[in-house]
Amino acid sequence: MGTYAAVVLAGGAARRMGGLDKPALPVGGRPMRDRVLAAVSDATPRVLVGAADAVPAGVRVVREDPPGGGPVAAAAAGLALLDPDVSVVALLAADLPLLTRAAIGELLKHLEPETPDTEPPGDRSAPAPPPGDRSAPAPPAHSGSAPAPPAHSGSAPAPPDRSGLDGEREPDGACFVDGDGRRQSLCGVWRVAALRAAVHRLTVERGGSLSGAPVRALLAGLVVREVAWSGEGPPPWFDCDTDEDVRRAEEWAR
């Protein structure tokens, strides 16, 4: 897949844990958010959305608008820091202390473009005119002066057409599913263009504010590849919402 970016969402209120700075809680001797950032150490850039006193070197920090506005507002703030040439982003909760680089690699594989196994039969090039026949016009050259296709309405472009070899749309993202088939949407990788278009759509639908918007509303309409974890060790999507979850993660991290 090549290079990718990572946006780690650390702005939750942790109400079930007394309002603590949950991502800062240690698991295996390291804050949970640092463990998540380590799992995407090869991402460029790495963006942490939320309050943080100290982060690993090279990590950008931003706050969602408004602070505490929820995961969709946080995702929008993180996407805003990505350069235009970034095409894929890992969108991750900051309370996934068991996440590994291998798990991220498994997700990234599901966004690789499909390629044919063999070359299609026959010569696909344009037929040449018969010898001595100079009347047939040459195929038109592709130039910058050719008329552009009609623009998509609104201020944000539509995501590019990603039809696969069989005519079906290639996935806009890939995320893990748990043993009950529930999507772990904040343990996934996504095409940036698709997410930006979704942010724009949802912002318009909600009258300009993303505060309190659910993740499922952001991802509605996107083609999602659901990935079951088949690797060794604990599930990488295990999140820590309670003190008991943290204790279980500690046991797995030993």
Q: What is the pLDDT of residues 174-183, one digit of tens each?
A: 999 999 999 9
Domain ranges of the chain: 5-113+153-253
Question: Mean of the pLDDT values across residues 189-214?
Answer: 97
pLDDT of residue 134: 40
Question: Mean of the pLDDT values across residues 206-214?
Answer: 96
Q: What is the pLDDT of residues 12-47, one digit of tens each?
A: 655 545 567 889 999 999 999 999 999 999 999 999
Residue 217: pLDDT above 90?
Answer: yes
Question: Mean of the pLDDT values across residues 213-221?
Answer: 96
Pick the more confident residue, 166 or 30. 30
Burial class (CB in 10 A: 0-12, 13-18, 19+), 5: buried
Chain centroid to CA 132: 56
Chain centroid to CA 159: 14
Burial class (CB in 10 A: 0-12, 13-18, 19+), 205: exposed
pLDDT of residue 20: 73
pLDDT of residue 51: 85
Amino acid at site 154: G
Assign domain 5-113+153-253 to a CATH class.
alpha beta
- In angstroms, the CA 38 to CA 28 distance is 13
pLDDT of residue 11: 78
Q: What is the pLDDT of residues 106-117, one digit of tens each?
A: 999 999 865 444
Compute the Cα dihedral for 97, 99, 100, 101 and give only its sign.
Answer: negative
pTM confidence score: 0.78
67 forms beta bridges with: none
User: What's the Cα-to-Cα distance from 96 to each of 5, 83, 113, 200, rounded to whole Å?
Assistant: 17, 26, 28, 28
Q: Provide the phi-psi class of 77: left if phi over 0, else alpha when psi is between -120 and 50, else beta.
A: alpha
Can you state the percent helix, strand and coil of the chain, rounding each to 5?
A: 25, 15, 60
Let me know: does 39 contact 97? Beta carbons within 8 Å. Answer: no
Mean predicted lDDT score pLDDT of the chain: 82
Residue 205: pLDDT above 70?
Answer: yes
pLDDT of residue 55: 87
Let me know: does 111 contact 174? Beta carbons within 8 Å. Answer: yes
Three-state DSSP state, 34:
helix
pLDDT of residue 56: 87
Q: What is the pLDDT of residues 64-94, one digit of tens each?
A: 999 999 999 999 999 999 999 999 999 999 9
Amino acid at site 40: V
